[in-house]
Structure 1
Amino acid sequence: MPPTPRRSTILEVARLAGASKTSVSRYFGEERDRLSPSLQARIAHAAGTLGYQPNQMARGLKGGRSKLLGMLVADIRNPFSVAITHGVEQACRQYGYSLVVCNTDNDPEQERQHLDLLGAYQVEGLVVNASGSPERQLHTFISQGTPIVLLDREVDHVEAEVVGLDNHLAIDMALEHLVDQGYQAVLYVSEAPQQSSTRQKRLARFNHTTEQLGLIHSSSLLANSDGTATLQALSDFLATHQQHACAVLCGNGNATLTVTRLFQQLDLSLGKIGLMGIDELEWCALISPGITTLAQPTDAMGKTAVQCLMHRIAPHASSMPAALSFSPTLIERGSTQR
C-alpha cells in the first residue's frame, strides 16, 4: 500500500511564504484584512503549493467557537424539510458557518440523542424543527448561552423565536380560493396533529373558517402511509355530498401525495373533484391538469432562522429580521378548476 500523504503544517506554509506563523494564522482566520495584499498573495501561493488545509474545527474550539450551527429536522423525507434545510444551509454558508443536520424521524428518543450529540459538537446555535417536547434539553442549551430558533413548530415552555408559515392565513387563502371556484363541501386531510403545533393550528383554523364561510366540511387524519382510512373517508364524503361540488384540501406535502394516489385509485377527475395542497411539490405541475398548491417561501424562512441565530451570536454582523411569519403564494392549476 502507498503511504498515507502527510498533511502540510502551518509552519511549512510560513517558511515558504517568508512570513511569520502568526501572519499565516491571521490569513486563515478573521484577521486577514490586517495583512498587506502582497503578504496575502504569498501565503495563498504557499498554501496552494503545499496543499495546506487548516483544521477549522481545532481552530474554532481553540478560540471558543466551533463555526457550526445545528439543525434538528423532524422528518427529512418530508419535502418541506428538504426545502427548508436547503435554505438554512445556504444562509449558513453566507455567514461562514457549517451546518450539522440531524433527522429525528419524528422519534422523541432520537431527538434527545441528537441534541446530546449537537451539544458535544459545541454548536454555536440551533434550528429546531421539533418532533417531541425536548423542553429540558433546549433549556440546557439556552442556559449555556446557545441561541435557539424554532422552525415551523412551537415547543411548550421554550421561549424562542418561531419562524414559519402564517398558518391561519394559509388555511383562509385555501378555503377562499375553493369558494371562489364554486366548491361547496371540503374534506381536510392531515397527518396526525399530535406533537405538531402547526398541524393543530391548521386543523383548528380549517374548522373555524369553514363554519364562518358556511361550507360543508369534514376532516380525515392519515393513520398510515397507504391512506386506507382516508380512502374510506374520501369515498364516504363524496357519496354523502353527491349534490354538492366537493374538494379536498391537504394539510401538507405528504398528505397531498397520498390523496393524489387515492384520486387515481378511485379514478376521480381532478377539477370536477377539487384538490389543493399546502406545500408546493415539483410533481404537482406534472400531474395533468396540475395540482393547485400554496407554496411556502422556504429559502426565505431558512435564511430568517439563521439570521435570528446570527443576531444572537454576533449582533454586529446581522440585524434581527423584521418578520418571522410568512405568507404563502397561491399557485393555481387545473385541479381546482371546475
Structure 2
Amino acid sequence: MSSTPRRSTIIEVARLAGASKTSVSRYFGDERERLSPSLQTRIAQAAHTLGYQPNQMARGLKGGHSKLVGMLVADIRNPFSVAITHGVEQACRQYGYSLLVGNTDNDPEQERQHLALLSAYQVEGLVINAAGSPERQLHTVIHQGTPVVLLDREVNHVDAAVVGLDNHQAVDMALEHLTEQGYQAVLYVSETPEQSSTRQLRLMCFNQGAQQRALIHATLLLTPSDDTATLNALDTFIADHKQHNCAVLCANGNATLAITRLFQRLGLPLGKVGLMGIDELDWCCLVPPGITTLAQPTDDIGQTAIHCLMHQIAPHTTPMPTQLNFAPTLIKRGSTQP
C-alpha cells in the first residue's frame, strides 16, 4: 500500500546545506541578500535535492508577508472577467505574488463572505470588481492597512483607485460609428444597472449622446428569466421605426450574446438592422457577416490594477500608473453596414 510522500522540512534543508535554520528562512524570505553567494548556492542545491517548497501560508501568518493578492470578480462566467483575470495574474507573477480569485456571482452576500475569507488569508492587497456596495467591509479592510484597487466599477464613499474602460469615450465612439453608418434609431440593451456603476454610467452616456446627435433612441433592460418579453420589446422597437435605419447597441458581452440569439429567432438581417457590442468576444467574428465591437484592452487594465496595488504595497519602489482609464478599439464588421 503506497503512502503519501512526506514534505521535506526546513531543518532537513539546513542540515544538508550545512547552514542554520535561520539562514534557510532568510533565503526563502525577504533577506536573501544578507547571505553570502556560496551559502545561497548551497541552500538552493539542498532545497532542489530534497524537493523542498516553503509553506507560504505559514510564512504569511508568521511574518505578515503572504505574497498573496486577493481578487473578487462579480461574474466569473462573463468573458470580460476571464480576460481581466488573465491580465491580473500575469502582473502578479511579474511581482512574485500568487493570486487568489473569488467569484461573487453578483451576490452582495457572497461578496461579504469572500472579503472576510480573503482577510483571513492575510492577502497583501485586494482587487475588487464589485457586485454590490461593500462600503463597510472595504472601509474595514483599508483601515486594517490592506491596499484596495477597484476594477471596472466604483464603490460609493470608498477612496480607492478605479481602473477600467473610459466609458464616456466608448459610448461616444459607438454612437459616432452608428451615426456615420447612417443609423437613425438606436436601441440600447443592458443588464439591470442597479448594482453596477459601469452600467449606470454607460446608460447615462448613451442617453446624453443620443440626444446630442438627435437620434431616435430607447433603452431595453434584459430580463434573463423572460426571453419572450425581451424578444417582443426588440421586435416592437424595429416595427415602430421601420421607416428609419435601426440599430441595437449592446452594453456588454452578455447583452451582445442575448441579442444575437434574438436576432436569429426573429430572422433579422445583420447590417440592415445594425448590431454593435461593447466588449469583443471570440465568436463575434464567426457570426456572418461579423459583429462590430468595441474591444477593451483587458490585459492592460488587469495589469495596471496590480501596478496600482504594488505602488501601495511598496510605494518607494513601484511608480503609480498615470493612466487608469483606457480607450477601446473599434473593430468594424458587417453588422453595422446597412
TM-score when normalising by structure 2: 0.96
C-alpha separation between the residues in 2 aligned to 1:122 and 1:60?
7
Q: Which shifted more, 29-38 or 286-295?
A: 29-38
- Measured after TM superposition, the shift of residue 31 of structure 1 is 2.8
Question: Does the 8 Å CA contact 1:225/1:258 hold for their aligned counterparts?
Answer: no
CA contact (8 A) 2:64 2:122 kept: no
Please state how far the C-alpha of 1:226 moved relative to its aligned partner. Answer: 5.8
Seq. identity, %: 78
User: 1:220-254: per-residue Cα shift (whole Å, max 9, x none)?
Assistant: 00011563222111101111111111110000000
Tell whether the 8 Å contact from 1:248 to 1:274 is kept in structure 2 after alignment.
yes
Q: For residue 61 of structure 1, what is the amino acid of its counterpart?
A: L
Residue 193 of structure 1: CA displacement? Answer: 0.6
Root mean square deviation of aligned Cα: 1.3
**Alpha carbons 2:60, 2:122 under 8 Å: kept:** no
Cα distance in 1 for partners of 2:5, 2:291 equals 54
2:71 match: secondary structure: strand
Structure 1 length-normalised TM: 0.96
Q: CA deviation at 1:267?
A: 1.0
Post-superposition CA distance 1:162-194 (Å, at most 9, x none) = 111111111000000011111111110000011
Q: Tell me which residue corresponds to 2:286.
A: 286
Distance 1:316 1:253 in 2: 39
| Counterpart amino acid of residue 60 in structure 1 | G
Alignment partner of 1:99 is 2:124: no
- How far the C-alpha of 1:36 sits from its partner, in A, is 3.8
Matched residue type, 2:171:
I
Q: Distance in 2 between matches of 1:283 and 1:71?
A: 27
Moved more, 307-316 or 36-45: 36-45
SS of the residue aligned with 2:102?
Answer: strand
> How much does 1:27 deviate?
2.2
Partner Cα separation in structure 2 for residue 271 and residue 32 of structure 1 = 62
Q: Secondary structure at the match of 1:317?
A: coil
Structure 2 counterparts to residues 175-324 of structure 1, below 5 A:
175-224=175-224, 227-324=227-324
Alignment match, 1:168: 168
**Could you list the per-position Cα deviations for residues 35-80 of structure 1 after superposition, in whole angstroms to 9, with x for gaps in the alignment?**
3443333222221211111111111221112211111111111111
Q: Distance in 2 between matches of 1:328 and 1:124?
A: 31
Structure-2 separation of matches of 1:96 and 1:180: 47
Give 1:19 shift: 2.7
How many angstroms does 1:276 deviate by? 0.4
One-letter identity of the residue aligned with 2:316? H
Change (3 A) 1:138 1:87: same
C-alpha distance in 2, partners of 1:236/1:10? 71
Q: Deviations over 1:302-323 (max 9, x none)?
A: 1111111111111123111101
**SS of the residue aligned with 2:257?**
helix
Q: Which amino acid aligns with 2:9?
A: T
Query: Does 2:98 align with 1:80?
Result: no
